[in-house]
């Protein structure tokens, strides 16, 4: 017959006895209901929403005021208030001085509402025009994006809390932007 010796230092043995007695001495709670219906609290929703808009016409000096008015009306109608406005400028092949002024005034309007402007500028000419005169710097160094998806993900990553892609965010990424009517 073989015997196995188990060597445990005295200090460790004393600690094991105390732990074992402590566990045995604790009363068991019988009949305590488990909180099965209760789950971990979910993160509270972001304080604002991301509003994504697409121009249906060109942005120029003639339509600049209509853009500011339409975005202002959409912001007032947003519930909860918008924290970021993404505007898709894919239909704008070039930007003139009136359009740049409108984007700067729109940025000021959003700043008063504690919201941020992000622009989707897929065209290289429009991007170069916005960067050349400092409009892009005034709006924000990271405000220009090449796709709606990139702008939405950047806006979502900027929100407080973990930047997890939740089902709500997934649906936001798949929805097309709201269309802004052309200026009359």
Q: Which residues contact 137 (CB under 8 A, 6 or more apart)?
A: 131
Alpha helices, DSSP H, located in 50-183? 64-77, 97-112, 124-132, 135-139, 148-158, 167-174
pLDDT band at 175 (very low <50, low <70, confident <90, very high): confident
More confident call, 9 vs 128: 128
Give, in degrees to the nearest 5, the angle at Cα 180 between 90 and 100: 55
Place of tokens 């929403």: 49
Quick one: average pLDDT of 79-92?
Answer: 90
How far is C-alpha 49 from the geometric centre of its chain's CA atoms?
8
What is residue 80's predicted lDDT score, i.e. its pLDDT? 86
Quick one: average pLDDT of 46-62?
Answer: 83
pTM (2 d.p.): 0.69
What is residue 11's predicted lDDT score, i.e. its pLDDT? 52
Indicate if the pLDDT at residue 3 is higher than 80: no
Quick one: average pLDDT of 29-55?
Answer: 57
Q: Domains of the chain by range and CATH?
A: 49-180 (3.30.750.24)
- Summarised one tens digit per residue, pLDDT across range 91-138 is 888 888 989 999 999 999 999 989 999 999 998 888 998 988 888 899
pLDDT band at 46 (very low <50, low <70, confident <90, very high): very low
């Amino acid at each position: 017959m073989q015997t196995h010796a188990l060597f445990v230092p005295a200090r460790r043995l004393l600690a094991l006895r105390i732990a074992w007695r402590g566990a045995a001495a604790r009363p068991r709670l019988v009949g305590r209901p488990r909180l099965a219906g209760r789950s971990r609290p979910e993160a509270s929703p972001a304080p604002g929403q991301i509003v994504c808009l697409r121009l249906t016409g060109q942005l120029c000096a003639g339509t600049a005021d209509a853009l500011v008015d339409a975005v202002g009306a959409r912001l007032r109608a947003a519930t909860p208030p918008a924290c970021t406005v993404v505007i898709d400028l894919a239909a704008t092949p070039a930007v003139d001085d009136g359009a740049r002024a409108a984007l700067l005034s729109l940025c000021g309007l959003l700043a008063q509402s504690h919201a941020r402007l992000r622009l989707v500028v897929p065209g290289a000419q429009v991007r170069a025009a916005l960067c050349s005169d400092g409009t892009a710097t005034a709006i924000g160094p990271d405000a220009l994006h090449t796709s709606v998806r990139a702008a939405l993900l950047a806006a979502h990553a900027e929100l407080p809390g973990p930047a997890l892609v939740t089902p709500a965010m997934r649906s936001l990424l798949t929805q097309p932007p709201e269309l802004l009517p052309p200026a009359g």
